[in-house]
A and B are shown apart, each in its own frame.
Chain A
Amino acid sequence: MHLKYESQLREPLVYGNKTYAQVTEDIVRPIEAKPSRLWYIGFFIAVALLSFGAYSVYREVTYGIGQWNLNKTIGWGWDITNFVWWVGIGHAGTLISAVLLLFRQGWRTGVNRAAEAMTIFAVMCAGQFPIFHMGRVWMAFFVMPYPNSRGPLWVNFNSPLLWDVFAISTYFTVSLLFWYSGLLPDFATVRDRAFTKLRKKLYGIASFGWNGSTKHWQRHESLSLVLAGLSTPLVLSVHTIVSFDFATSVIPGWHTTIFPPYFVAGAIFSGFAMVQTLLLIVRKVFGLTDYITIGHIDLMNKVIVLTGSIVGIAYLTELFMGWYSQNKYEGYTFWYSRAYLFSPYGWSYWGMMACNVISPQIFWSKKMRRNVFVTFFMSIIVNIGMWFERFVIIVTSLYRDYLPSSWSVYYSPSIWEIGFYAGTFGLFFTCFFLFAKYFPVIAVAEIKYVLKRSGESYKPEFDAIEAQPLESFVHDHAHAH
């Protein structure tokens, strides 16, 4: 049996005087209540953006990639920037749900459900970009290896672009399974409280007949643990492979061996920022401040300052290597195209530096980490910065190649490129609004599991244990099985 004791030094994970029934009530009530006016306004804006995105994609499919301002040397522009950005956002969800589960970090329980949902929606958005960049999107299935009538001419298994296909689709599938298997018990909770026939029917179907049997829970725990163990290397592999898209090429600025760890750190950085943006809204709108506490926000800000600094080290390492290698092309890319403020895209490099490296340093201060408004503002700044990072990597390496005669004119996106990006925001928020309305945004069963150990009203029970001398504590608890 596990030691049911947690140090008083740890902040409670659940505030207020809660019982199990109260936990269910608090989290499930927003699903049962009618959505607020604010929800309708937000949902309408999201759907409007999605419609504009759909029209932009329609133009691109009908008239071709020429609808975008890609040119002679800039074959990858906003689309791949957005792809990498969205995939990166997704990583925080898996980090919270899987890596923190393996590290036994109890605080993940309050935020994992929403973060995993964010992962799934972000990967859905990311996938749109490479698919539509193919141009003839109706032939997108050509990327799958299947016996075909063209030889069979197979796909190139040695290409990082094909690794991407496998990595992203596996990542999406595994995240979805992990998320949904965790949702089953909570859907059962919603089903058993439901008061309308339609609700009972739909949540009954969605809960797959879950009844809370001890044997099922035992298997469920085993499943979660192994899926977490699989997701952890998976999430690292996904952004590593995304970075291989660049790192295996011979383009100055892309051809660097630090890309995999640098991309993974950046992904976690931007993902946590997006989790903050979403959860700060959710906890307020649905009144869940007892479950998504200031303590959670503080901890996530610590992750942000850590990963932001790792990313900063990577930028400086790149600059150093650009000089130290004494390779003229590398030097030109890093010291002129990027780091020189008055070069054509110098503004984007310094925007990235300011947003990703300099500004997150305020989170060394505990007061700032625990300030909701500063956190919300910074979460937006970080995501802008991380978008700039991908833009810098892609565009500043491409716009001037080895042959000055083919140097491109200044690249700026067309309205349909911007529309496509805005459309993925629409898709993301449409999904997220529906999720927040119809799904338990916090894992109900997991909160109940930590409640009697980490709940504010249960912690005083540990005072007696805390006051015990070590010998008697060991005697009472360490051999309690």
Chain B
Amino acid sequence: MAQKKFVVGCFDDEKVLFPAVKQVRTAGYKIKDVYTPFPVHGLDHALGMRETSLHTAGFIYGITGTTTAISCISWIFTKDWPLNIGGKPHFALPAWIPIIFELTVLFAAVGMVMTFMWLCQMAPGVKKHHFHKRATDDLFVMVIECTEKTNAEDLKALLAANGAVETDIQIAEDGWWFGTYDNENENLYKQVTN
């Protein structure tokens, strides 16, 4: 767990965000991440991220499910306990297709969700530093990690010049830890009265 220094720029429109991302990257800064309230298509490419291979993992899990089903059922019905069901063949592949299919889907879905959780470091009770609370509401929050060469004030000015509505310098934990969100003091919204 290490504290790091970050420069934060908040944008309120994706039309402003895209040119800003380009400007900040051309200026030579490495953008750590942009936190957005919804999936902004094309932002991953604009940030130079590679495509995710999650679907490949899903395919492998699916194949695992298929082979698990075929090998288990065929071993059970031909080797372990060959049960005579109306004189039909012990190796009755067509009758197993429904279960083979279901297990393929089950393994693929469960495996993919687990992998997703692992890759994104998400689990019940996990906490991360949030650079701006409205990142899950209506702000696009760009975060740049400072190195010893970074002039944070220059960077803040650059972000503001490119349309950031709020800029900020924060010192925060980079990773995740176990914790709850109940000891955060600031309340952005007033309690509803009805």
Contacts and interface: CB of A to CB of B under 8 A. Distances in A.
Interface in A175-203: 177-178, 181, 184-185, 188-189, 191-195, 197-198, 200-201, 203
B36 A217 contact: yes
Contact of A145 (B33, B76, B110, B191): B76
B137 A21 contact: yes
Nearest to B106: A170
B160 to A, nearest CB: 21
Nearest to A21: B138
B102 A166 contact: yes
A254 to B, nearest CB: 18
Interface stretch (B1-9, B114-122, B151-159, B163-171): B114-122
B108 interface: yes
A194 B136 CA distance: 12
Chain A interface helix/strand/loop/mixed: helix
Contacts of B92: 158
Contact of A157 (B42, B51, B73, B137): B73
A33 B194 contact: yes
Contacts of A189: 37, 136-137
Contacts of A354: none
B60 interface: no
A40 to B, nearest CB: 14
Contacts of A197: 182-183
Interface stretch (A264-272, A328-336, A441-449): A441-449
A154 B108 contact: no
A237 B122 contact: no
B63 interface: no
Contacts of B29: none
Interface string B33-72: 1111111111111010101101100100010000000001
Interface residues of B, number: 79
A237 B137 contact: no
B128 A449 contact: no
B95 A158 contact: yes
Nearest to A248: B95
Interface stretch (A44-52, A225-233, A359-367, A418-426): A225-233
A173 interface: yes
Nearest to A22: B138
Given A20-B37, A195-B189, A208-B124, A226 B112 contact: yes
A214 B54 CA distance: 15
Given A192-B130, A209-B127, A234 B105 contact: yes
A222 B34 CA distance: 18
A192 B136 contact: yes
Nearest to A181: B113
A156 B76 CA distance: 10
A477 interface: no
Contacts, number: 223
Given A158-B92, A184-B122, A145 B72 contact: yes
Given A1-B42, A24-B137, A158-B88, A237 B37 contact: no
A177 B49 contact: no
Given A21-B138, A154-B81, A212-B135, A220 B39 contact: yes
Contacts of A154: 76-77, 80-81, 83
Nearest to A166: B102
A162 B99 contact: yes
A1 B80 CA distance: 56
Interface string B109-149: 11011001101111111111010011111100100000000
A445 B39 contact: yes
B95 A157 contact: yes
Contact of B101 (A162, A223, A237, A445): A237
A226 B55 contact: yes
A181 B116 CA distance: 10
B106 A19 contact: no
B189 A227 contact: no
A145 B77 CA distance: 12
Nearest to B120: A216
A446 to B, nearest CB: 7
B76 A211 contact: no
Interface of A: 1-2, 19-21, 24, 29, 32-34, 145, 151-154, 156-158, 160, 162-163, 166-167, 170, 173-174, 177-178, 181, 184-185, 188-189, 191-195, 197-198, 200-201, 203-206, 208-223, 225-227, 230, 233-234, 237, 241, 244, 445-446, 448-449, 452, 481
Given A208-B117, A218-B51, A445-B37, 19 more contacts: A151-B81, A167-B102, A170-B102, A178-B109, A189-B136, A193-B137, A194-B181, A197-B182, A200-B180, A208-B126, A212-B35, A215-B44, A220-B120, A223-B112, A223-B116, A226-B112, A448-B37, A448-B138, A452-B14
Interface of B: 14, 33-45, 47, 49, 51-52, 54-55, 58, 62, 72-73, 76-77, 80-81, 83, 85, 88, 92, 95-96, 98-99, 101-103, 105-106, 108-110, 112-113, 116-117, 119-128, 130, 133-138, 141, 176, 180-184, 187-192, 194
24 contacts: A29-B192, A151-B81, A154-B81, A157-B73, A160-B98, A170-B105, A174-B105, A174-B106, A181-B113, A191-B181, A192-B130, A192-B188, A208-B117, A209-B128, A212-B135, A213-B33, A213-B35, A217-B36, A217-B44, A220-B120, A225-B55, A230-B108, A233-B101, A445-B38
Closest 10 CB pairs of A and B: A204-B181, A20-B138, A209-B126, A1-B42, A208-B122, A201-B182, A163-B98, A197-B182, A445-B38, A448-B38
